[in-house]
Amino acid sequence: MHSTLSFSRATTVPTTNYAFHSQSPINLRFCGLRREAFGISILTRSSSGRVRLSTRGRSKRISASTGNNGTPPKSFDYDLIIIGAGVGGHGAALHAVEKGLKTAIIEGDVVGGTCVNRGCVPSKALLAVSGRMRELQSEHHMKALGLQVSAAGYDRQGVAGHANNIASKIRSNLTNSMKALGVDILTGFGTIVGPQKVKYGKVGFTDNVVTAKDIIIATGSVPFVPKGIEVDGKTVITSDHALKLEFVPDWIAIVGSGYIGLEFSDVYTALGSEVTFIEALDQLMPGFDPEISKLAQRVLINPRKIDYHTGVFATKITPARDGKPVIIELTDAKTKEHKDTLEVDAALIATGRAPFTNGLGLENINVVTQRGFVPVDERMRVIDANGNLVPHLYCIGDANGKMMLAHAASAQGISVVEQVTGRDHVLNHLSVPAACFTHPEISMVGLTEPQAREKAVKEGFEISVAKTSFKANTKALAENEGEGLAKLIYRPDNGEILGVHIFGLHAADLIHEASNAIALGTRIQDIKFAVHAHPTLSEVLDELFKSAKVLDMKTLRKMKS
Amino acid sequence: MQTQLGSAAFPRLLRRSLSYIPSILYSLHSLLNLFHFFRFLSNSAPQSQKHKEMASPFLSNTTISFSSSLSSSSLPRIAPSIPFSSIRSNSTPRRILTVRSKIREIFMPALSSTMTEGKIVSWVKSEGDVLSKGESVVVVESDKADMDVETFYDGILAAIVVGEGETAPVGAAIGILAETEDEIAEAKAKAASKSGASTPSAPPPAPAPGAASTPGPPKSTPAPAAPTVAEGPRKTVATPFAKKLAKQHKVDIESVVGTGPYGRITPEDIEAAAGLSPSKKNVGLAVVVETKPAAPAKAPAASAAPSSLPPPVPGSTVVPFTTMQAAVSKNMVESLSVPTFRVGYPVTTDALDALYEKVKPKGVTMTALLAKAAAMALAQHPLVNSSCKDGKSFTYNSNINIAVAVAINGGLITPVLQDADKLDLYLLSQKWKELVEKARAKQLQPQEYNSGTFTLSNLGMFGVDRFDAILPPGQGAIMAVGASKPTVVADADGFFSVKNKMLVNVTADHRIIYGADLAAFLQTFSKIVENPESLTL
């Protein structure tokens, strides 16, 4: 009973961004994969236990039949071994158990991986604090609501403690959920020693070798630190350190203005720091829809204590020492000339993440990584140096670099499990939503407008764009949070949704109506009849779908003739 | 349709960022904006007459439009309305009269009540294009949205003063419109003078990040030189918010002395330089913005005018505060938030008086002697020279800067003797003389009156025997010095004698400086004054 409670709890935990959520075993991340009703976890679990017993025989049969392609016929220790117990591995393991596979998961560090321990989960705790601080500090906002609050303050230790507590709580939820379902958790670093064979063990201990019919690599990623930057963990830090919130500098430079950088700028400015962004590209927030990033810049950057340098690399960063501040050398991204030197109190390196694939033993099976990423096809099957598929080996999540989001890893893992249990499945990455948990939030799914236009030209169709504002939404106005925009990119000829981008209150929660529609192939002309409770923020999307103009058959025919 | 001075173009909302807003709501919203905008205009300056004229066409006309964006060149008369016009009128002396209503400037329009500057997204028309009334000329990005600006006049776009991607303050000329082709050359010349003239004001636009405060030195300090950056002529380092504030309050950042860590310029420094009382940390930018549009003369005064005061006695006159008086008032009210206490100490001055008589012919003043003595005592008690900026920490100041309160015609200013512990008595006296002269001429630079770490106030020359000073915000302690008077004293052995005694009374911030600290400091001070030889060293 206790575990059920904690599961349902876990699902409410705010999630993601550069990595993503995790936790509750059964009822999430079926993003378009299945339509069965989500079972109550206890029920599903008991039934899956039964299934597992009955299918063990079947898996043996399979292994016997595949026995003669390379490896000697034998029985395997496991049906599925997953290397890495992050969100991707966890999602795959749970789905594998549900499908009746005997599953083991190898973890050399802590269960939960980046997302739970050093990523989205603790950062959401910090952002929860920053959101409230922001609200309490905004005098005119409070006044507009008729509230009076005396000066808001915070206790750094308390905030850091909150982030740490939530990480350990979710970590234990994950561990318990896997144990309860009968997933073996093997401790140590996993290395592939041959086809369908993995060794694992802690450094200095004897290695164990286990075999499995199928293997999934889900080793994730680590913060990427460009050359010339010296990370000391105190004044020059990565997100790993920043999440511990060991100090709040007066002035911090954030290298990189993607999800991670933006979220931390939100946290630090709310806690009183001033922020300087350093971005290598010509504009801030690359990767977002340009219109969204422009609006976001007006709201999230310009009015805050933030300035920025774009089109420059931080070529050298020296931590504060000997009574000197952190010194950052900026080099022009195009001319490669020295451009400026910054002196700040701290620097956060948020230049993205690098795959963690060293020591995986990929050379034993003739696989060569590309910039560290494991090459895979659209079914996550690993491709070797000669361009051939490696049988029974898959790679999901940040390690393959297809889409570096925790929930994408999990969806990929589920997709793999579907395949190895005999149902072909290809994950549609365009249906995977992404979110950035600033205040207000940014979320998106599918193509950006420039991407959609490019595709439209290439494939010869028209696109249209519809937009609605949060200013027109009753609930948003009641919250006095009317700043925001939702944007829909679609095909007017058939009503296909190509992309949805939202900037505004609770955007991260709102995106799922659109991502589910894309995953299930729902067209605008159908979804616009779906009913939304009034007054809710979800009406922003309702409005958006209703404002889209899908051509009816008559007009279409006329146009064609 | 407008008066001659009137505006010539109005911005129209495009189907851009804001176009998704359902029309009813939207127009309501913009009307509100409009309303605020005009209210603020008419409050802000005496020039409102012109704007009122403008307001009517807008309101009768249902098109959504904002302020003027174009106006003919006979600007000087409406000059007070727009802070930037002073630059303009300086630069184009009297040509104005000759080109009246033929060559018009296209102005950066105020697209919202909070807009202080706008960025040119793109010029819809290019130089030489013929424009007809109602056509879009330029797309401007405000703090809220992108908008098209249309022209109210037919003519030829003669010159673009502010290029695409550049930023200009509201009211600044961004382009020149000529009525006929003949005037293009003239308009171009004008544009040239304009862009030339705008160079003095160029520094503010420049801080568009990246280029921010990079005069030339960066190239001379390549990577290997980095460690030595701390020495030598260093470039100005200002925090992001400080830069924003400087731009907003038009403070030349180069003239500000940074008091933050590593000598960087903090938002508080800019506020001090702009004569604003330091706002609380963490207050949103929006709060600060409100004071800005008001005419500079009455900027800081406006705030505390409670309506609950009793009606004035008939026949009384109301004289508004001068800027200086308003700053004093603001600081004084603010000082109430600091928990202070006072410690007095009698000091025997016979030796000091004797020394004063000796050095007086060399131009040494009593103020310099007292400042020097206080500085030497502070050097031994750095705590008393510290301040409490955020209510959570001590800020130990690396320099001992003695601010000395001086009354000048109806005001009060505190010129600062910087590094008073290091300079010798004669240099200090000389410095003091310069400062007083500058203060009388109102030529003190901000750092010459706001960098004090300890204040000295002397009313002894009036015969005041003791008084009580108010601690200025941002400092830890202030010393009030009374007159030195012959006093009968009994010594430890019971012998009576007459000695000159003066009472000093120090007010200090009890969050950081406690009674014993202050007492110890006063003891040191009194020892120095009683044995003043060290002052001349």
For A16-65, the pLDDT digits (tens) are: 344 444 443 333 333 333 334 443 344 444 444 344 444 444 444 444 44
> What does A206-225 look like in DSSP terms, one character per residue?
--EEEEEEEEEE---EEE--
Query: What pLDDT is stored for residue B437 in this prediction?
Result: 86
B363 touching A, CB under 8 A?
A: no
Say which DSSP state A288 is in.
Answer: S
Q: Say if the Cβ atoms of A305 and B143 lie within 8 Å.
A: no
Whether residue A268 is predicted with pLDDT greater than 50 in this model: the reply is yes
Chain B residues touching residue A327 (CB < 8 angstroms): 226, 229
User: How far is Cα A342 from Cα A328, in angstroms, rounded to an integer?
Assistant: 5
**The CATH number of the domain covering residues in B104-194:** 2.40.50.100
Chain A residues touching residue B17 (CB < 8 angstroms): 291, 294-295, 485
The domain limits of chain A are: 78-223+354-421, 236-351, 429-560
Does the domain at residues A429-560 carry the CATH identifier 3.30.390.30? yes
Fold of A236-351: FAD/NAD(P)-binding domain (3.50.50)
- B4 — phi, psi (to 5°)? -60, -35
What is the average per-residue pLDDT within A425-438?
A: 95
For B193-227, the pLDDT digits (tens) are: 765 444 433 333 333 343 333 333 333 333 333 33
Whether residue A301 is predicted with pLDDT greater than 60 in this model: the reply is yes
B261 touching A, CB under 8 A?
A: yes
Residue A161 annotated as binding site: no
For B5-36, the pLDDT digits (tens) are: 334 444 444 444 444 444 444 444 444 444 44
Which has more pLDDT, B54 or A151?
Answer: A151
Does the annotation mark A534 as catalytic? yes
Whether residue A423 is predicted with pLDDT greater than 50 in this model: the reply is yes
Residue A221 annotated as binding site: yes
Give, for A113, the enclosing helix (H) or strand (E). Answer: helix A113-118
Query: What pLDDT is stored for residue A149 in this prediction?
Result: 80
Helices in A483-548 by DSSP H: which ranges?
507-520, 524-527, 539-547
Give the tokens for residue B353. 């008086």
User: How far is Cα B387 from Cα B372, in angstroms, rounded to an integer?
Assistant: 20
Q: What average pLDDT is seen over chain B? A: 71
Query: What pLDDT is stored for residue B76 in this prediction?
Result: 37
Query: What pLDDT is stored for residue A100 in this prediction?
Result: 94
One-letter identity of residue A76: F
Q: Say if the Cβ atoms of B285 and A316 lie within 8 Å.
A: no
Q: Say if the Cβ atoms of A329 and B241 lie within 8 Å.
A: no
User: How far is Cα A411 from Cα A87, in angstroms, rounded to an integer?
Assistant: 10
The predicted model scores a pTM of 0.56
Q: In this complex, which of B17, B20, B241 lies closest to A274 when CB atoms are compared?
A: B241
For A447-496, the pLDDT digits (tens) are: 999 999 999 999 999 999 999 999 989 999 999 898 899 999 999 999 99
For B95-153, the pLDDT digits (tens) are: 444 444 577 788 887 776 667 777 887 787 778 788 877 777 888 876 556 677 777 77
Residue A108 annotated as binding site: no
Give the tokens for residue B287. 């709060």
Q: Could you give the strand order of the β-sheet that contains B155-160, starting from the edge strand earlier in sequence?
A: B70-72, B103-107, B173-178, B155-160, B130-131
- B512 — phi, psi (to 5°)? -120, -30
Chain A residues touching residue B25 (CB < 8 angstroms): 471-472
Percent of chain A with pLDDT over 90: 70
Instruction: Indicate the CATH number of A78-223+354-421 among 3.50.50.60, 1.10.287.1770, 2.40.50.1020, 3.30.10.20.
Output: 3.50.50.60
Same fold, A78-223+354-421 and A236-351: yes
Please report how the helices B515-530 and B350-359 are oriented relative to each other, as an axis angle in degrees rounded to 10. Answer: 50
Q: Say if the Cβ atoms of A341 and B218 lie within 8 Å.
A: yes
Query: What pLDDT is stored for residue A207 in this prediction?
Result: 83
**Alpha-carbon torsion, ordered B247, B252, B258, B260, to 10 deg:** 0
Q: Which residues contact B369 (CB under 8 A, 6 or more apart)?
A: B352, B355, B356, B359, B425, B532, B535
Least confident interval from B180-189, B203-212, B400-409, B447-456: B203-212
**The CATH number of the domain covering residues in B337-535:** 3.30.559.10
Query: What pLDDT is stored for residue B386 in this prediction?
Result: 92
One-letter identity of residue B490: A
Q: Say if the Cβ atoms of A329 and B260 lie within 8 Å.
A: no
Shortest alpha-carbon distance between residue B245 and chain A (Å): 10
The domain limits of chain B are: 104-194, 337-535
Q: Which residues contact B62 (CB under 8 A, 6 or more apart)?
A: none
B264 touching A, CB under 8 A?
A: yes
Whether residue A69 is predicted with pLDDT greater than 90 in this model: the reply is no
For B240-253, the pLDDT digits (tens) are: 999 888 888 888 88
Q: Give residue for tokens 């109210």.
A: B152
